[in-house]
Amino acid sequence: MQILVTGGLGFIGSHTALLLKEAGHDVVIVDNLSNSKLDVLQRIKKISNVDYKFYKADVTDEAKMKEIFARNKFDGIIHFAGLKAVSESISKPLEYYYNNVVSTLCLIKCALEYNVERFVFSSSATVYGENDSPLKEDMKLGLTTNPYGETKVINEKILRDVSVAYPHMAISLLRYFNPIGAHPSGLLGEAPNGLPNNLMPFITQVASNKIKSLKVFGNDYETVDGTGVRDYIHVMDLAKGHIKALENIKIGVNVYNLGTGKGTSVLELINAFEKINNIKIPYEIVERRKGDVAACFADATKAYKELGWKAELTIEDMVRDAWNFEKDYK
């Protein structure tokens, strides 16, 4: 299949583009480089020793996207492009709503006009809000606490409405849990601009002395050691989940959790990092972060039953690969 990968130079998109090629698909990447560098294109070429067609374009630019659809014959779309920083979304709600919602509207319009029937969307566990874990796909969605999360809820709703009006469309909503880790080559990984928002890049930047110490947000949750519990998933497993989702896509809207089904606390993640990489991570316990829940992990059985996919890599693999990328990253 020829697959359009929007946001294909970002963290998850770049790993997925690579695995799509390995699985024998043709890949066309569109990215506006708002949160990635062109250098990633050279890196995926280097790893796979093949070329990738790339357009520097904004997915919200309908005229430009139509041009790209006219020039190619896509069989499917994986839509990663989006802004994703929770705290930034609170200070820049308009940018987040515009970018994350209009991009999907543009893509769906193009898909309908150019008869592309497969559409895979990057959703998030954030749509479950404060529901108790393990989280299941058929749960009623929870209340989101920030504009970023709300854009995922809105996108899911838009895609459900599209499916009612255009029943020939096959749409998958993939709800990712906490993707971390990196490609085993050390060439691809998560390289956030500025101060990281998420725990894993924060840990690796403390390890490389870019940041002095880590702040652990609360140790009084009802969890194994009082710190927040999350379902960390290796980005390579997550990327594989996209290939399975695309190859097994069904008509209508289907929702899948992409997580491991296992929770790991902040302290457990720090300990695993220290043990595997033999580096001490200085940290201090501070107040809880607003909007955080105590525990968030998937019931990951649906993706296994229907797509034949399950996460295979361990927390040890994740912390080793994350550090392997960060330590040499320039």
Contact residues: ligand WQD, CB under 6 A: 84, 86, 124, 126, 149, 178, 197-199, 202, 214-217, 228, 230, 266, 289, 292, 296
Ramachandran area for residue 291 (φ above 0: left; ψ -120 to 50: alpha; else beta): left
The number of residues making up the chain comes to: 330
Query: What gap in Å lies between CA 225 and CA 92, rounded to an integer?
Result: 34
- The stretch near ligand NAD (CB under 6 A) out of 76-84, 107-115, 211-219, 267-275 is 76-84
Binding flag, residue 145, ligand NAD (CB under 6 A): no
- The stretch near ligand NAD (CB under 6 A) out of 56-64, 108-116, 240-248, 311-319 is 56-64
Query: Cα–chain-centroid distance for residue 277?
Result: 25
Binding flag, residue 82, ligand NAD (CB under 6 A): yes
For the bound state, the minimum distance from the C-beta of residue 317 to ligand NAD, rounded and expressed in Å, comes to: 17
For the bound state, the minimum distance from the C-beta of residue 110 to ligand WQD, rounded and expressed in Å, comes to: 24
For the bound state, the minimum distance from the C-beta of residue 184 to ligand NAD, rounded and expressed in Å, comes to: 18
In the complex, residue closest to ligand WQD by CB? 228
Q: Residue 237: beta bridge partners?
A: none
Q: Is 133 within 8 Å of 296 (Cβ atoms)? A: yes
Nearest to 221 by CA among 325, 295, 158: 295
Nearest to 249 by CA among 53, 3, 13: 3
Binding flag, residue 44, ligand NAD (CB under 6 A): no
- Given the residues 52, 55, 128, 148, select the one marked as catalytic: 148
Residue 13 interacting entry, from ligand WQD, ligand NAD, none, C-beta within 5 to 8 Å by type: ligand NAD
**Residue 258 belongs to what H/E stretch?**
strand 252-258
Binding flag, residue 204, ligand NAD (CB under 6 A): no
In the structure encoding, which two tokens stand for residue 34, read together? 């708002």
Residue 58 interacting entry, from ligand NAD, ligand WQD, none, C-beta within 5 to 8 Å by type: ligand NAD
Residue 104 interacting entry, from ligand WQD, ligand NAD, none, C-beta within 5 to 8 Å by type: none
**Residue 113 belongs to what H/E stretch?**
helix 103-113
The CA radius of gyration of the chain, in Å to the nearest whole number, is 19
Q: Which is nearer to ligand WQD, 178 or 324 (CB)?
A: 178
For the bound state, the minimum distance from the C-beta of residue 197 to ligand WQD, rounded and expressed in Å, comes to: 6
Residue 86 interacting entry, from ligand NAD, ligand WQD, none, C-beta within 5 to 8 Å by type: ligand WQD
Binding flag, residue 81, ligand NAD (CB under 6 A): yes
The verdict on whether 148 is a catalytic residue reads yes
Q: Supply the DSSP string of 129-142, one letter for each residue.
A: TTPPSSB-TTSPP-
- Strand order of the sheet with strand 252-258? 53-56, 26-31, 2-6, 76-79, 118-124, 170-176, 252-258
Residue 292 interacting entry, from ligand WQD, ligand NAD, none, C-beta within 5 to 8 Å by type: ligand WQD
Nearest to 258 by CA among 84, 120, 119, 66: 120
Binding flag, residue 264, ligand NAD (CB under 6 A): no
For the bound state, the minimum distance from the C-beta of residue 210 to ligand NAD, rounded and expressed in Å, comes to: 18
Nearest to 299 by CA among 127, 123, 136: 136
Q: Which is nearer to ligand WQD, 8 or 82 (CB)?
A: 82
Residue 217 interacting entry, from ligand WQD, ligand NAD, none, C-beta within 5 to 8 Å by type: ligand WQD
Nearest to 319 by CA among 205, 208, 204: 204
Nearest to 285 by CA among 209, 223, 228: 228
The set of catalytic residues is 148
- Residues contributing to the site for ligand NAD (CB under 6 A): 6-7, 9-13, 30-36, 58-60, 80-84, 99, 103, 122, 124, 176, 178-179
